[in-house]
Amino acid sequence: MNKLNLLYGYIILLLVLGTSGCKHETEPFDGPSLVDRFGPFTALTDFTVSQPTVDFANGEEVFFSASFNKNVNWIIEITGSESGSVKTIEGFSSDINATNATWDGGTTKLPLFKNEVCNVVLTIPEEIEFMATETVETLSGKQYEGTLFTDFEEELGVDAFIGNFEFEFTPQTGRQSDFPAQGDSYLRLEGTDNVVPNFFVGLIDLKASITGNTYIQLPTTVPEDLYFNCFMFSDAGPHGLAIIDFIFDANDTGAFEDGQDTGFRVMADYNLATWEGWRQISHPMSETGITQEQLEKVVAIRLLLISDKNAQPTPPLQVDFGIDYMIFTAGGPLEL
Amino acid sequence: MKNIFIKICWLLVLALCAGSNLLAQDGGSEATIADDEKSKIRFNGLGRTILTQTSIAGDVIEADTNTIDRLTDGEFLLDLAINATPNKNSEVQAIVRLRNEFGGFFGAGMSIEVRELWARGIIADFVKYRVGDMDVVMSPYTLFSPDEEGFVNEPAVFQPLKKVIDYEQFYTDDNTRRLQGAKLDFGLNFGTILEDLDVSTFIAKIRGTDFFTIPNRLVTGGEINFSTVTFNDSLGLKADFGLNLVHTFDDLQSGNAVAGIRNTVATIEYDVTVLDKSNLSLHLSGESGRSNVGRAERQTTIITDEAGEEIRREEKNIMISEEDDTFMDVGLTLHLKKQNLTVFAKYIDIGPDFFSTGAQSKRIEYGEDKTYYNRIGTDRNLRQASLFDLSRDRALYTFRTADRLMAYDPRYSNTMPYGDATPNRQGLKFGIHYGEDTDKIAARVDGAFLTEIRGQGTVELKNFNLIKAAADFNLHQFLNWKNTVRATLGVQIETTKRGGLEVEQVDLTSNLIDLGLEVELFPKFDILLGAKLFTSEGNDYVPQLSGFNEVRDFPGRYIADDQETLLGLGIKYEFKKDIYMTLQYNSFNSELGSDNPNNYNLQQFFVLYNMKF
């Protein structure tokens, strides 16, 4: 073998391997942008709203616009002047536009928006001196997907049975309109377990006939896909528990007969001391243990107000909760 | 495609190993050890006594009533090495450490441990083996322990404490890494084209499992080095080549771990002697290669029959993230033999995603608690590691490898904080080395003009300039004195700059000067003087790193306006080689900007008796 040829081979090998060391993946830079992290902030365009009024029920949306010289964490907070409802939109960008700041009428913090003037505030946490405001008027509320059971906007009449067996409910039990989560009314259960101390304060049965049907109409009867949703109010007072029973018409009479029909409920009670204000309750019906066949014959929903007697002082304290906008959805919980 | 290079290297390794074994059976072995038929047991080791008294003063502790202003500590230590050669082909050694802390009585503060244990020998007069503790080094990009920062030409007065660190952390002049495992070596000689070939392979465990989420971590690899014959006698043209492969991985069968790392580095080294004359030689040398790093996850697949019944479960490891990158290091070295002068220049290009845990793991762990005054001041703030700590605190040092780029201090090293294998660098390195240690003057200048390849937080790139100069003056040779008088000088100037918008700009300048003087007043009795003067001024952004070498964030602009002065004065008496005692006084002053309430100074007296036997 010619030694010189071998040398040429070495040189070629060197060149091939040597040049292979210069190829790197090209990315703009590593880590977050220093300009974004530490650069001075300037608003390049004013904060604006795309339209002064918006009709959500007709599918309209509204979006907000602004631009800055760098990417920032920004927060748009929309507050209903009448309802007190709050919608928050957050992002990290240098541009606020239709792709990242569109409002479809949804809510972040209950209650739901009414037809009202809403105040819109843009803030940037890192720039505490910056704030921009706008207003937008909602002409109608967002239409949520699902099958509404009741939102308590109409008189309940014979479709509701108030079981005040021990005369422990207060007169405030029933439809109220002081601070509804949706619309103008909600249902309130309020009382004190001081007549017959036995945990039980009272109950209200909401019959399927409230919807004009024998059985509750549902978007699906597959327990795993069917979600029950409602808004529940608590003043965070201690010792109160709420229970929601779904009544299956076990004897096929088309009506709710206590003691003959079967109730299903989620395993955990709603401990009313654990939150304050309105919150959304959502769970798949499979959590109650009800079957698909039984879901086809749900004849009523029972609401119970319980007082935790063992924890109550003497005399016991009043307990209460509110409920609004009971709706069934398919495939997932109600999305506000 | 991305693993083709690594696979080719593996195949080359396997092919050459197979070929060499065939040749070995033909009697191609050259490996031997000392021929001694009788078994021998030898005792040697190291004894050390060190007592220190350290005190602190300065603005930072004026209102601080929690900090003790004077600390006294020390240790008495004996490393007893028991070495046995049961036959001419086998050798075993154990080092048992007996240690007692200063102030420990009747067993309190005393410890006994096995510091080192290994066995080695030769199989069939051909293959060298070693099991247990071992020091392994390959190339600066594969398996290598890069030198620590904080010194250029360490004055002799500061060397004794530095040598204690080196001994404790198994650091060697060859930049080896201490591992625990097994190693095989063999070599072959050839007649044509190739002159000789050496093969070395190893496997070692570098981290143990906790039997829960942390798996065993192992490193395996090897190198094949071969030399060619001289192709052209008049020029001396010949070439040396080396193939290196290191694979670090987590054993996902250990404990209950389901995720771990994989890091493979494959390189080729070369040293082509272009010219080798009586008065000069010229070499083309370098190394290039590729790294692959990623995370593996253990996944279980349930195999079922047609009815859906489980038949068995299969486990396999899959890569959930991977990253490749390359590096290149190529240069020319000119050696003027008569002048004893070596000049080299090289171009390097180390990819931003190049990751080599065995080569990039630093010796200094800045996040560790310091032995002396870790927290000071009324707010009990962490004291920043300083030249005082880097020169003596073994708690800051480690020999272990890390699975991400370790924290660094840009004041002490910003150009190459992870040694030659520092990722995201390209540019020119050069050096001029003159003389030997025993000459009247020995001097060297090394430099690097590098830039980033990919920006950090910006598309703007940092530019790094580093100049390191060192000189030893053997004054006794100038004066024809019998006793040694040696002056040493070291200078390091490092600048980092980046343009762009004001918020992106970086400008950091650090200077380090080492001054040393050793005077042999009487035979074996030296007076030692030394100073380390350090300044750092400017600003930089130091990234917070998450997995491997990913930049997660920047905590803020790092601002330096520091001056550090470490002075040393001492005497040293050498009873005989490697047995000496030194008594020293060191003074350290740290000024963090003018009138900074966190300024402080440290004083330390210590006596060190060191004996190798």
Q: What is the DSSP string of A244-267?
A: EEEEE-TT-SSS--TTTSEEE--S
Closest CA to B549 of B348, B363, B329, B325: B325
Amino acid at B138: M
Question: What does the longest C-alpha to C-alpha distance in chain B come to?
Answer: 97
Report the alpha-carbon distance of residue B110 to residue B550 in Å, rounded: 43
Which pLDDT score, from 0 to 100, does residue B14 have?
A: 39
Residue A11 token pair: 């040189």
Give the pairing of strands B506-522 and B525-541: antiparallel
Tell me how long chain A is.
Answer: 336
Residue B212's pLDDT is: 82
- For residue A230, give the nearest of A110, A113, A114, A128 by alpha carbon: A110
Interatomic CA distance for residues A191 and A211, integer angstroms: 28
Give alpha helix (H) positions in B135-289.
159-168
> What's the rounded mean pLDDT across residues A21-38?
83
How many percent of chain A have pLDDT more than 90? 81
Q: B22 pLDDT band (50/70/90 cuts)?
A: very low
What is the per-residue pLDDT across B403-415, written as a single tens digit (0 to 9) for each?
A: 999 999 999 999 9
Query: Residue B27's pLDDT is what?
Result: 33
Distance CA B298, CA B281 (A): 53
CB within 8 Å: B554 and A32: yes
pLDDT-based confidence at residue B580 (cuts at 50, 70, 90): very high
pLDDT at B7: 46
Range with top average pLDDT, A233-237, A263-267, B235-239, B515-519: B515-519
pLDDT of residue A4: 58
Strands (E) in B102-237, as ranges, are 110-123, 127-136, 177-189, 194-207, 216-228
What is the DSSP secondary structure assignment for residue B133, as one 8-state letter? E
Q: Kindly list the structural domains of chain A, giving each domain's residue range(s) and its CATH number in brackets, ordered by start.
A: 34-140 (2.60.40.1930), 147-330 (2.60.120.430)
B463-475 average pLDDT score: 97
CB atoms A30 and B352 under 8 Å: yes
Considering only alpha carbons, which residue of chain A is nearest residue B503?
Answer: A39
Mean per-residue pLDDT for B220-248? 88
Can you give the pLDDT at residue B524?
A: 94
Which range is most confident: A77-91, B208-222, B236-250, B586-600? A77-91
Which CATH number is associated with domain B4-66+74-612?
2.40.170
Minimum CA–CA partner of B330 in chain A: A18
CA dihedral for B287, B288, B294, B296, sign (positive or negative): negative
Which A positions 25-84 lie with beta carbon below 8 A of chain B? 25-35, 37-40
From A17, A28, A33, residue closest to B288, measured CB to CB: A17
Spatial separation of the C-alpha atoms in residues A41 and B475, rounded to whole Å: 62
Mean pLDDT computed over B231-257: 87
Cβ contact B79:B45 at 8 Å: yes
Smallest Cβ–Cβ distance between A14 and the set B228, B231, B270 belongs to B270
User: What DSSP string runs through A36-83?
Assistant: HHHS---EEEEEEES-SEEEGGGT--EEEEEEEEEEEEEEEEEEETTT
CB contact under 8 A, B453 and A24: yes
- From A9-23, B174-188, B305-319, B464-478, the region with the lowest mean pLDDT: A9-23
Q: Do A29 and B325 touch (CB under 8 A)?
A: no
Return the bridge partners of B388, or none: none
Which of B288, B458, B501 minimises the CB distance to A29? B458
Q: How far is B325 from chain A (nearest CA, A)?
A: 6
d(CA B192, CA B576): 49
Mean of pLDDT values over B93-109: 84
The reported pLDDT for the residue numbered B326 is 93
In total, chain B counts a number of residues equal to: 613
Which residues share a beta bridge with B516?
Answer: B488, B530
Question: For residue A16, what pLDDT is reported?
Answer: 61
The pLDDT of residue A10: 66
| pLDDT value, residue B33 | 40
* Contact call for residues A176 and A188 (beta carbons, < 8 A): yes
CA geometry: angle B349, B355, B361, nearest 5 deg: 110
Judge: B272–A10 Cβ closer than 8 Å, yes or no.
yes
Does residue A2 sit at the B interface (CB-CB below 8 Å)?
no
Q: Which residues of B252-284 are buried (b: 16+ CB within 10 A; e: fewer)?
A: bebbebeebbbbbbbbbbbbbbbbbeeeebbbb
Residue A10: which of B229, B239, B286 has the nearest Cβ? Answer: B239
Rounded distance, CA A228 to CA B154, Å? 76
Which of A330-334, B543-547, B608-612 is predicted least confidently? B543-547
Average pLDDT value for residue range A121-130 = 94
Tracing tokens 């009506």 back to the chain, one arrives at A255
The residue among A7, A34, A42 with the most chain B CBs within 10 A of its CB, best to mutate, is A34
Using the beta-carbon criterion (under 8 Å), do A34 and B326 form an inter-chain contact? no
Pair of tokens at residue B246: 């290191």
Q: Are B323 and B355 in contact (CB under 8 A)?
A: yes
Residue closest to B549 by CA, chosen among B290, B289, B319, B361: B361
And the tokens for B569?
């004065």
Looking from the CA of B559 toward its CB, the CA atoms found within 13 Å total: 4
Across the interface, whether the CB atoms of A4 and B503 are under 8 A apart is answered no
In chain A, the percentage of residues whose pLDDT exceeds 70 is: 93
Q: Do B457 and A20 touch (CB under 8 A)?
A: no
Of B25, B13, B53, the closest CA to residue B584 belongs to B53
| Minimal CA separation from B552 to chain A, in Å | 6
Query: Residue ranges of the domains in chain B?
Result: 4-66+74-612
- Residue among A6, A18, A33 whose CB faces B286 most closely: A18
Chain B residues with CB-CB distance to A92 below 8 A: none
Q: Which residue of B has its CA nearest to A4?
A: B231
Of A318-332, B25-39, B439-453, the one with minimum mean pLDDT is: B25-39
Give residue A165's Cα distance to chain centre: 34
- Sign for the pseudo-dihedral over CA of B536, B537, B540, B544: positive
Question: Strand, coil or helix: what is B157?
Answer: helix
Q: Is the dihedral of CA A93, A96, A97, A98 positive or negative?
A: positive
| Alpha helices (H) in B402-515, listed in sequence order | 475-479
Residue-wise pLDDT tens digits, A39-98: 999 999 999 999 999 999 999 999 999 999 999 999 999 999 999 999 999 999 999 999
pTM of the model: 0.78
Residues of A in contact with B454 (CB under 8 A): 24, 26-27, 29-30
The DSSP secondary structure of A107-148, one letter per residue, reads -SBSS---SSEEEEEEEETTEEEEEEEEEEEEEEPPPPSSEE
Contacts of residue A9 in chain B, CB cutoff 8 Å?
A: none
pLDDT (0 to 100) of residue B19? 36
The secondary structure of chain B in percent helix, strand, coil, rounded to multiples of 5, reads 10, 55, 35
User: Hey, what long-range contacts does B228-234 have (CB within 8 A, 24 or more apart)?
Assistant: B228/A6, B228/A10, B228/B193, B228/B194, B228/B195, B229/A3, B229/B192, B229/B193, B229/B194, B229/B195, B231/A3, B231/A4, B231/A6, B231/A7
Q: Averaged over B417-446, what is the pLDDT? A: 95
pLDDT of B106 > 80? The answer is no
- Mean residue pLDDT of chain B comes to 89
Name B221's bridge partners: B202, B246
Residues of B in contact with A30 (CB under 8 A): 352, 424, 454-457, 543, 550-551
Question: For the segment A166-176, what is each residue's pLDDT rounded down to a tens digit?
Answer: 889 999 999 99
Element housing B531 (H / E)? strand B525-541
Decide if B610 contacts B48 (C-beta within 8 A).
yes
- pLDDT for residue B34: 43
A52 φ/ψ angles, rounded to the nearest 5 degrees = -75, -30
From residue B430, alpha-carbon distances to A23, B70, B154, B333, B469 in Å are 23, 46, 21, 9, 12
At residue A20, the pLDDT reads: 57
Q: Is A158 on the interface with B (CB under 8 A)?
A: no
Q: Is A261 within 8 Å of A217 (Cβ atoms)?
A: no
A292: confidence class by pLDDT, cuts 50, 70, 90: very high
C-alpha R_g of chain A: 29
Residue A150 pLDDT level (bands cut at 50, 70, 90): very high
Q: How confident is the model over B45-72, as a mean pLDDT? A: 91
Which pLDDT score is estimated for A7?
Answer: 61
Instruction: Round to whole Å and give the CA distance between A319 and A271.
Output: 11
Q: Which residues of A touch B286 (CB under 8 A)?
A: 18
User: Which of B20-29, B155-164, B490-499, B519-528 shows the lowest per-residue confidence on average (mean pLDDT)?
Assistant: B20-29
pLDDT of residue B370 exceeding 90, the answer is yes
Pairwise CA distance, residues B170 & B116, whole Å: 10
How far is C-alpha B90 from the chain's CA centre? 30
pLDDT of residue B424: 95
Determine, for residues B501 and A39 on separate chains, whether the beta-carbon distance falls below 8 Å.
Answer: yes
Residues in chain A within 8 Å Cβ distance of B356: none
**Percentage of residues in chain B having pLDDT higher than 70:** 93
User: Closest approach of chain B CAs to the CA of A299, in angstroms?
Assistant: 39
**Confidence band for B107, pLDDT divided at 50, 70 and 90:** low
- Structure-model confidence comparison of residues A231 and B550, the more confident one: A231
- pLDDT tens-digit series, residues B519-556: 999 999 999 999 999 999 999 999 998 888 889 899 88
- Three-state secondary-structure class, residue B549: coil
Q: Do B353 and A28 touch (CB under 8 A)?
A: no
Asked if residues B576 and B568 have their Cβ atoms less than 8 Å apart, the reply is no
Nearest to A22 among B328, B543, B557 (CB): B328
Residue B503 has a pLDDT of 93
SS in 3 state form for B275-290? EECCCEEEEEEEEEEE
Question: E strands within B216-258?
Answer: 216-228, 238-251
**A287 pLDDT exceeds 50?**
yes
| A275 and A232 Cβ atoms separated by less than 8 Å | no
| A18 vs B: CB within 8 A | yes
CB B534 within 8 A of CB B172: no
Q: Among A229-238, B208-217, B433-442, B600-609, which is the least confidently predicted range?
A: B208-217
User: How many contacts (CB atoms, under 8 Å) link A and B?
Assistant: 108
Q: Is A5 on the interface with B (CB under 8 A)?
A: no
Tell whether A15 is within 8 A of chain B (Cβ).
no
